[in-house]
Each structure stands twice: as structure tokens, then as C-alpha cells.
Amino acid sequence: MGTFYTGCRIENVEVRSKAAAIPKILVDTESEYTWVAETNTLEGLNLRVDPRLKKLVAAGPVLAA
């Protein structure tokens, strides 16, 4: 799909006050790793790319086996 820029906010799940807003972050839909320390790929963050709007959106509920 390619690359695009978007904004995001990264929070510590245990201490929500520890957060960082990133106004412009590069999303590479072909990448398997992220530069953000101790986070995961889009799948690990339960996100997907909306190619028409060029933004990240929630991927929906995670089904348990």
C-alpha cells in the first residue's frame, strides 16, 4: 500500500499519565517493525490501514480460539 504520515498518541497502559503525542509519524504498510520502543507492528497494536483516507483505524475485536 505504501507510506503516509499521520498523528498518534502513545500511552503507557499501566500509567496513563505517561503518554507522548506524536503529531507526524511515518506509517510504512510494508514494514514489520516499528521505531517506537517496546511497541509492536500494526497487527500487534490491533490497527489496520485505511488506504483511501490514509489513516490508521481500529482493526476491531480480537477473536479468541
Q: What is the tens place of the pLDDT at every residue in 24-57?
A: 888 777 766 666 655 766 666 777 778 788 777 8
pTM given for the model: 0.50
Residue 8 lies in a domain: yes
Residue 63 lies in a domain: no
**Bridge partners of residue 11, in order along the sequence:** 19
Decide: 30 and 59 in contact? Cβ < 8 Å.
no
Q: Which regions of 1-65 does DSSP assign to beta strands (E)?
A: 3-11, 19-28, 47-50, 55-58
Residue 20 lies in a domain: yes
Residue 65 lies in a domain: no
Question: Cell for 14?
Answer: 499501566
Domain hosting residue 36, numbered range: 3-58
